[in-house]
Amino acid sequence: MLIVATAGLYGLYWIYESFHEVQRHRGRGVGGFVGLLLSLVGVSSFLLPSYVGKMYEEDGKTSPISVWNGFWLFLPVVGWAVWVVRVQGALNVYWETRRSRGHHSELFFDRMRRQTRWVFALLAVVFAGSFVFLGVGSGGSALTDFLNGNIHLFGSSSGPSVKSVEAKVAKDPTNPKLRLQLAQLLVTKNQVDDAIPAWKSYLKLKPGDTEGLLGLAGVYSTKITALGNEIQSPPTPPLANLNAFLPVAQTTVLGTALSGLQPPELSITSLQQGETDLLQKQLAGLITAHIGIYRTLAAKTPGDSSSFHETEVIASQDGDITAAIAIDQQFLKKFPTDPLITDIKREIKSLEQSLASATSQTG
């Protein structure tokens, strides 16, 4: 039972002590440490009963076990238990015989009680703790709590859960600190779609707040990237599966006639194009809102040309070349003597070439 309660640790200790005691008594053979190492590769299952058998023979007795007892280990679970019982039983009988002859100092458990009482104390604590941790006799267990993430071995978790903060916001909806905490938490949880309205709710309470604007801009950027990828590889619309159902083989006359009756609007190409158009419309709205945030931030420092130019950088990154050109042209009028003027002019030419190229390809 101690072996089970200690997840096999006591079994390792038992193997070590058994080899140690047998070697100490016989004066030869491998000791506890080597026997423990050999147990890891299965050798000890044959070697220990062999040593015990030889110990009997050297004392002029018939051994109840031999090297063949090691084959019990090939029988899963039950065989291992039988092996332990047979080896320990043979050792107990031998040591009891030695006790009757007055050799008390050689008895395995007598010496353990005198010299290693702390081991039994530790095993008792582990045994009791195992029952508590595994929840023996109760409706739950610490193990279940640990697996569910309710117990943290190295301190508390990374912070409050989204549900707990949402509950606090529901009780105090006009608290900007709670709104900010919720928005930031949703970002860390990568819940972008929920983070966008959370940041907007915070900005309603704190209009123009720089931290809120940058937070909303960050989730807009993430969403823009995700939509761009989705447009490149649009998913197959659910209605497209209707085309796969044909009650009659298309190679037949009737099948050809039925396939001709299917509306072209339900073709995979048409449905995917419709899906792409919706995504592009959503993307355009997000890009406009994203650029608008940086316009607002630039307006806070009207004399800062770098902040104004940042708006153009964002527009270019989002793929709105028309907006980027317009912002650069505004830059030329607003900051005519700025050191960046030459770069801005060169940038406008490059953007106009990109726009012309894109227009010709779509045309």
Domain borders along the chain are 2-115, 301-363
pLDDT classification of 200: cutoffs 50, 70, 90: very high
Q: Residue 154 has what pLDDT?
A: 47
Are 69 and 36 spatial neighbours (Cβ–Cβ below 8 Å)? no
Looking at per-residue pLDDT, the higher value among 225 and 62 belongs to 225
Instruction: Find the range with the poorest average confidence among 3-12, 31-40, 67-76, 259-268.
Output: 259-268
Average pLDDT over residues 136-145: 47
Distances (CA, A) of 187 to 163, 198, 317: 14, 10, 21
Please, which pLDDT band fits residue 264 given cuts at 50, 70 and 90? low
pLDDT score, position 272: 62
pLDDT, residue 96, reads 77
CA 314 to chain centre: 33
**Residue range 77-89, pLDDT digits in tens:** 677 778 788 888 8
pLDDT band at 102; cut points 50, 70, 90: low
Q: What proportion of the chain, given as a percentage, has pLDDT over 70?
A: 67
Q: Which two tokens stand for residue 203?
A: 């900005």
The answer to whether 182 and 169 are in contact (CB under 8 A) is: yes
pLDDT for 289? 95
Question: How large is the greatest C-alpha to C-alpha distance in the chain, in angstroms?
Answer: 112
pLDDT tens digit sequence for 16-74: 888 888 888 888 888 888 877 887 777 878 888 888 888 888 877 888 888 777 777 67
273, two tokens: 């194009």
> Considering the chain, what is the average pLDDT of its residues?
77
Asked whether the whole model's pTM tops 0.85, one would answer: no
Mean pLDDT, to the nearest integer, of 301-330? 93
- pLDDT above 50 for 151: no
Rounded to 5 degrees, φ, ψ at 40 are -70, -20
Give mean pLDDT, residues 133-147. Answer: 48
Q: Give yes or no for residue 242 having a pLDDT over 90.
A: no
Which of 66-80, 146-160, 237-251 is most confident?
66-80
pLDDT score, position 11: 72
Structure confidence at residue 186 (pLDDT): 94
CA distance 82 to 88: 10
3-state SS, one letter per residue, for the chain: CHHHHCCCHHHHHHHHHHHHHHHHHHCCCCCHHHHHHHHCCCCHHHHHHHHHHHHHHHCCCCCCCCHHHHHHHHCCCHHHHHHHHHHHHHHHHHHHHHHHCCCHHHCHHHHHHHHCHHHHHHHHHHHHHHHHHHCCCCCCCHHHHHHCCCCCCCCCCCCCCHHHHHHHHHHCCCCHHHHHHHHHHHHHCCCHHHHHHHHHHHHHHCCCCHHHHHHHHHHHHHHHHHHHHHHHCCCCCHHHHHHHCCCCCCCCHHHHHHHHHCCHHHCHHHHHHHHHHHHHHHHHHHHHHHHHHHHHHHHCCCCCHHHHHHHHHHHHHHCCHHHHHHHHHHHHHHCCCCCCHHHHHHHHHHHHHHHHHHHHHHC
Q: Which range, of 271-275, 279-283, 300-304, 330-334, averages the lowest pLDDT?
A: 271-275
- Rounded Cα gap, residues 345 and 339, in angstroms: 11
More confident: 75 or 86: 86
- For residue 136, the model assigns a pLDDT of 46
